[in-house]
Structure 1
C-alpha cells in the first residue's frame, strides 16, 4: 500500500518495549559522572512474532520484488551456461563469488582485506588478522549453504560458530546464544541513550524459533520473505557479536533453500554495502512497523549483485582463457592443466594445496607449479626457498578491482 505522502508501506508488527533499570559498572575507563548518568531506567525491545505474518504487496512492490528475484535466477543460469554445467571451473567460480560476498559482508563491519591477503590466510600464511576473520566468514557462508535445507536453531548456531572461529578472544561465545544484554550505542557500560537495545537474553530462543517457522513458509514472495527474515534476525540480535555477518549468511541459506540460487552465490551484501546508511535506516523503519524500505534495499542489492556478478564471472573467465593460450605449448596430459581451474578459487597457491586438490604427490605438484610459472600463468612472489607460494596476478587484480567498486556512497 501507499502512505498519504506516496511512499510505499508494507505493515509489519512494530517493536514492543519493556522497562528495566540498569546499574552501570566501572570498566576502569569511564568516569564516575558517566557511570552515574549510565545508571537508571531504560527500555529494551520486545520482538513481535512473525511466523503467521500476513503479507500484502501492492503492484509496484510485487513487480519490483519479482524482477529482483528473476535477476538473481538469471545470473545463476548465466554462470552455469558460461562455464558449462559439468565444467570443473563452475565450482571454483561459485566459490570465488562466495569469497567476494564474504569480504563485502565483512566490510560493512569495517573489516577490509585485499584478495592476496585473503588467499594467503586460506593457506594459513597471512599476517592479517582481518584476513583470518574474513576467511571465517567464508566458512560461515559455506555452512549456510550446506545447511540450507534444515534452517533451524542448530543451523544458525553452526553458522555463528564457523564465523567466530576466526575472531580471537571470542571462542567462548562461538555458536552460543547470548546470555547478556547488547545494544547499539556509544557507551560500553550502559544501554541508556543507545539507538537500539536488543531484547533481553531470555526472549531470544523463542524469537528465533518463531523466525525459523517464518523462514519455512512457502506461501510468501521469496525476496520479501528473505528481507523480513533478515531484518527480524538483526532485531533479535541473538549473539554477543557477529549478528550482522551471521544474518547475511542466513540470506544466502534462504536463497538456496528457495531454489533461487542453486549453482552459485550472488554478492548480495555487495549491493547492501553500497548504501549502508539507507540499509540501517531500513532496519529502523522495519522496527517501527514498515518493511517496505528493507524490501526495497534487498531488491536493489539483488539487482546489483546479478549485474556485477555477471561482470565478475566474465572477467575471471577471461583470465582463464588467457592462461589457456599461454599454456598452449604444454601437452594436454601435463599436470598444470588440472591446476588451472582451481586458480580462480585459489589465486595464491602452494605445492601442499596443489597436492591435496589433485590428490597427487608433492613432486607432481611441484612440477605443475613449475609449468605454470614457466608459461607465465603464475609468478612466485614469496622469495622463499621453502614454503614457497605462487600467485595469479590477473585474478588477484580482478578481485581487487571488483572490491574497489564497492566503496560506500
Structure 2
C-alpha cells in the first residue's frame, strides 16, 4: 500500500500577547484558528521503495559497514573525532557553527562561546544515543534530549512539549507557517508509535532509519532541539541495528552538503513519499563515508609527520601523549594527567612536543590554565567541516 500522507486538524491559537494590550498591527495574531499536522501511526506499516532505490540502499549500507569495520583497530583514535564531527555537522544544519578549536576548548570548560558550548552538548546527546542504542524506547529519546539541553533556561530538557511549535515565518504565531507540528497532546502516543517502528527487525535497516527520522521530525516532540535529537536517534539506530559497531558515521555531514534537498525530502515524506527521504539518507551516507575517509587519511598524515619530527625513545611517554592528542587535540596538563594516570610526567612530555613544534601552548584566561593544542589535527577537522558545508 502507498505510504499515508499526514492529515491536519483545525485548532485555536492564543497568542502570548493576549491580555497585555497589543498594537493594532498585531491584534490579528492575538487569537486565530490554524491547522496542525495529524501524522498517521506507522508502527505496523511496511514502507516500500523502488528496486533502483533498494539497490542504492544496499550499496550505502555496505559502504557504512565497510568503513566501520575498517576502523575496528583504530577505535581509540577515530571514534571520538568522528562523533564530534557528527555532532558539529548536525548542529550546523541548525545554523550553529564553531571552529574545532572552539569546540574542544569548550569541552575543557570554556563557556564563553555559546555555539561551541551547544555543539559540546550535542556531543553529549550523541553519546547518550550510543549508550542507549540497545534500548530504542521513548525513554531513550527523552534521555538524548536531556543531555542536549541540560541547563538550558529557556526549554525543558528531557520533557515533551506542552505548546504548539511550527517551522518558518513568524515566531509569534503559526499563521502562514511552512509546517505546524501536531498538537502537544498527540506527542507521547506518536513517539511511542515511531519507537515501536524503530524496534522492528523485519525491515531494511537504512529504510527503517530514514522513515523513523522523518516521522520523528514530523512529530517535533520538543520546543527546541528536535533536529539534533532526531539525528542522534539515527546514530542510535545505526548502532542498535548493527550497521555500525565501532564508530559514529557522520551522516549529518552528508545531509549538510545538501540541506535544501534534505528539507525537501522531509516535506515529501509528509505528503506520502517515502522514497525521497530514503534516497536522501542513502546519498548522505555515501558522502559521509567519503568525507570521513579523507579525515582519517588527513589524521594519519599528521601522525606520520609527528613520527618524523619527534626524536624520542619508542617507550617515551611522549607517544602516549600523542595518542591522546590525536583524538583530543586541545588539552590541559590536568586533563592529560587524568587520561594517562599519575605514572606519566605529562609536563615533560608536553614541553618536548612544544619544543618540537608539534603542539602550541597558550594561557587561556577563561580556563585559568595553560592549554596545549595540535593545530594540524584541528585543521583536519575544520577541513572536514568545510567539505560538508559545500552545497551540492
TM-score by length of 1: 0.91
Report the equivalent of 1:343.
325
8 Å CA contact 1:139, 1:162 repeated in 2: yes
Residue of structure 2 in register with 1:7 after alignment: none
Query: What is the rounded CA distance, in whole Å, between the counterparts of 1:288 and 1:251 in structure 2?
Result: 22
What is the correspondence of 1:56-71 to structure 2 with a 5 Å cutoff?
56-71=48-63
Does the alignment pair 1:22 with 2:16? Answer: no
For residue 107 of structure 1, the aligned residue among 79, 92, 105 is 92
Residue 313 of structure 2 is matched in structure 1 by 331
- Runs (5+) with no aligned partner, structure 1: 1-9
> Contact 1:117–1:126 at 8 Å: present in 2 too?
no
> Are the equivalent residues in 2 in contact too, given 1:65–1:224 (CA < 8 A)?
yes
CA contact (8 A) 2:15 2:172 kept: yes
Which residue in 1 is equivalent to 2:371? 389
Check conservation: 1:320, 1:341, Cα contact below 8 A: no
Would you say 1:380 and 2:370 are equivalent positions? no
Q: Distance in 2 between matches of 1:355 and 1:35?
A: 61
| Inter-partner Cα distance in structure 2 for 1:368 and 1:224 | 49
Deviations 1:112-155 (A, max 9, x none): 10011011001113521110000000010011111000011111
C-alpha displacement at 1:30, in angstroms? Answer: 6.7
What stretches of structure 2 of length at least 5 have no aligned partner? none
Q: CA RMSD in A?
A: 2.0
CA contact (8 A) 2:47 2:274 kept: no
- Cα distance change on mapping 1:369 and 1:238 into 2, 3 Å: same
Which residue of the partner structure matches residue 39 of structure 1?
A: 31
How many Å apart are 1:274 and its aligned residue?
1.0
Q: Deviations over 1:324-350 (max 9, x none)?
A: 2222x2123322111111112211111
Provide the rounded CA distance (Å) in 2 between the counterparts of 1:30 and 1:108.
Answer: 35
CA distance in 1, matches of 2:86, 2:128: 14
Q: Which whole-Å CA distance do the structure 2 matches of 1:11 and 1:316 have between them?
A: 46
Partner of 1:78: 70
Contact 2:130–2:235 (8 Å) recurs in 1: yes
How far does the alpha carbon of each residue in 1:265-289 deviate from its partner, in whole angstroms, 9 at most, with x for none? Answer: 1110011011111111111111111
**Could you report, residue by residue, the CA deviation over 1:168-226 in whole angstroms, capped at 9, with x for unpaired residues?**
423x5111111111111222222121111111111100001111110000111111101
Q: Is the 1:24–1:38 contact (alpha carbons within 8 Å) kept by the matching residues of 2?
A: yes
Deviation, structure 1 residue 11? 3.4
Aligned mates of 2:192, 2:364 — CA distance in 1 = 53
Look up the match of 1:250: 233
Q: Does the residue aligned with 1:381 lie in a helix, a strand or coil?
A: strand
Q: Distance in 1 between matches of 2:29 and 2:341?
A: 63
Cα pair distance change 1:29/1:394, threshold 3 Å: farther
Q: Relative to 1, partners in 2 of residues 1:188 and 1:205: Cα closer, same or farther, differing over 3 Å?
A: same
Deviation at 1:78, TM superposition (A): 2.1
Is residue 335–residue 364 contact of structure 1 (8 Å, CA) maintained in 2?
Answer: yes
Out of 143, 163, 176, the position equivalent to 1:158 is 143
The answer on whether the counterparts of 2:291 and 2:388 sit within 8 Å (CA) in structure 1 is no
Higher mean displacement: 36-45 or 206-215: 36-45
Partners of 1:144 and 1:30 lie apart in 2 by 44
Q: Which residue of 2 aligns with 1:401?
A: 383
Q: Counterparts of 2:266 and 2:187 in 1: how far apart (Å)?
A: 18
TM-score, normalised to structure 2's length? 0.94
> Which SS does the other structure have where 2:33 is aligned?
strand
**What's the counterpart of residue 5 of structure 1?**
none
Task: State how many pairs are aligned.
Answer: 389
State the alpha-carbon separation in 1 of the partners of residues 71 and 375 from structure 2: 23
